[in-house]
Amino acid sequence: MSTGSGADSAPVPATHDPAPAREKNTFSSLKVRNYRLFFTGQVISNTGTWMQRIAQDWLVLSLTGSSAAVGITTALQFLPMLLFGLYGGVLVDRLPKRALLLVTQSAMGLTGLALAVLTLSGHVQVWHVYLTAFLLGLATVLDNPARQTFVSEMVGPGQLANAVSLNSANFQSARLIGPAVAGVTITAVGSGYAFLANGLSFLAPIASLLLIRTAELHPVARTPRGKGQLREGLRYVAGRPELLWPIVLIGFIGTFAFNFPIWLSAFADDVFHAGAGTYGMLNTLMAAGSLAGALLAARRGTSRLRLLIFAAAAFGALEIVTALAPTFWLFAALLVPVGMCGLTVNVTANSSVQMAVDPAMRGRVMSLFMMVFTGGTPFGAPLIGWVTDTYGARLGFAAGGVVAVLAATAVAFALARAGGLRLSVRWNRGHPDVRFVPREELAAVA
């Protein structure tokens, strides 16, 4: 991980990975055949996943008329990560990643097909959606950390930051297509066919995993079964500020500031009085910004904690401004920079943590990362859904932005303190100069 002045100057321990020079090319990791296969399969599957997300949110809203019910669905999908996420990381460190992903991807495809059968047969009820969301969440307990850590085995340490960014670009490019296709599909033939498309889309990543050449992987020694491995992972993170504070920040943002299914469905339905097509379009616009943010991150190839703090603060501020937008088109246009900043936060936190962690601990650390990012949703989503239902979509959206700004500010000071820095506020040529500097430098000026 690159370091520099400011909040990213906390000491970063060297990992056990070698550190070859990183190629500054936006798509450099796609030169690796195994990763290229994996990437292609994920594009198809992610498109289906976004179709299901849109169809699922709209189906729940149609069945109940409640934003809180949409929040409950989201909460149930991420509750298993909160309950079992750390144990999932322990298993991922012990098990072969490719075989594990074949199991989890198959299970996730089956949940989509089950929901398709229920919907197309006309028997779907809201509790069916709740149940399938929970089962999907159980699969992701293992799937998320396995996918995160398998990337390093495919591309090696020199391309890791680029591949992490391209994974996000992959997800966001699918997000451009999926919501738009879902909106058309729901309007034309109903939600059931969107669920069917998602279930079938998992054939692509399963095929790509089967075609991977295991001899070309960069294997990491699996952790043998033993006692205390969960506690060991927690102690490892607690003792390293460059891991701990990005995870804390992403936890607050994931819990309170990433509840877009609730906010966008509420704005489309209650504020702008539109249908599923408009909801899909709003998701597509935000995805366009997210894709741009992912490609810029891939181009940078490095991850600074200073960038993480600035992006998190900008993300929260933009959410507040967007919530107050008086017209539909201004609201829609502002979703593009919201998506760009949100994706920058996610990618920068993810890659900085992966690059700073010992490979033998990567599964446990990334499961903790995913647990706090998505596992807080069972608390945040119902709360934000209740605020949105009770006080309106605008206040609900703005509340998430306020939390992001406050969290970014608090983590900036925590990282500065860990790195021996102090806040310096000076006037430079008639303009305020606000930055973190070493304590001894500030004392010398004083």
- Inter-axis angle of helices 377-391 and 393-418, to 10 degrees? 140
Cα distances from 279 to residues 51, 116, 213, 262, 286, in angstroms, run 12, 21, 41, 11, 11
Q: Kindly state the average pLDDT of the residues 247-269.
A: 89
Asked whether the CA dihedral 52, 57, 60, 63 is positive or negative, the reply is negative
Q: Kindly state the average pLDDT of the residues 230-253.
A: 86
User: pLDDT by residue (tens digit) across 375-397?
Assistant: 677 778 888 888 988 999 999 99
| Cβ partners under 8 Å of residue 329, min gap 6 | none
Eight-state DSSP code of residue 392: -
Enclosing H/E stretch for 438: strand 431-438
pTM metric for this prediction = 0.67
User: pLDDT by residue (tens digit) across 120-152?
Assistant: 998 889 999 999 999 999 998 899 888 888 888
pLDDT class of 428 with cuts at 50, 70, 90: low
CA distance 159 to 354: 12
* pLDDT of 9: 37
Averaged confidence pLDDT in the chain: 81
Lowest average pLDDT, out of 45-54, 128-137, 192-201, 286-295, goes to 286-295
User: pLDDT by residue (tens digit) across 186-227?
Assistant: 888 888 899 999 999 999 999 999 999 988 888 776 666 666
| Cβ partners under 8 Å of residue 250, min gap 6 | 345, 346, 349, 369, 372, 373
Eight-state DSSP code of residue 423: E
Tokens representing 133? 């969301």
The string of DSSP codes covering 138-158 is HHHHHHHHHHHHHHHHHH-GG
Tokens representing 141? 């307990």
Contact call for residues 353 and 369 (beta carbons, < 8 A): yes
Other residues' Cβ atoms within 10 Å of the Cβ of residue 78: 28
At position 215, the amino acid (one-letter code) is A
Helices and strands, number each (H, E), in the chain: 17, 2
Other residues' Cβ atoms within 10 Å of the Cβ of residue 238: 10
Contact call for residues 75 and 227 (beta carbons, < 8 A): no
Nearest CA among 41, 339, 59, 333 for reference residue 182: 59
Contact call for residues 218 and 334 (beta carbons, < 8 A): no
Cα distances from 208 to residues 34, 39, 143, 155, 177, in angstroms, run 8, 9, 15, 15, 21
pLDDT class of 425 with cuts at 50, 70, 90: very low
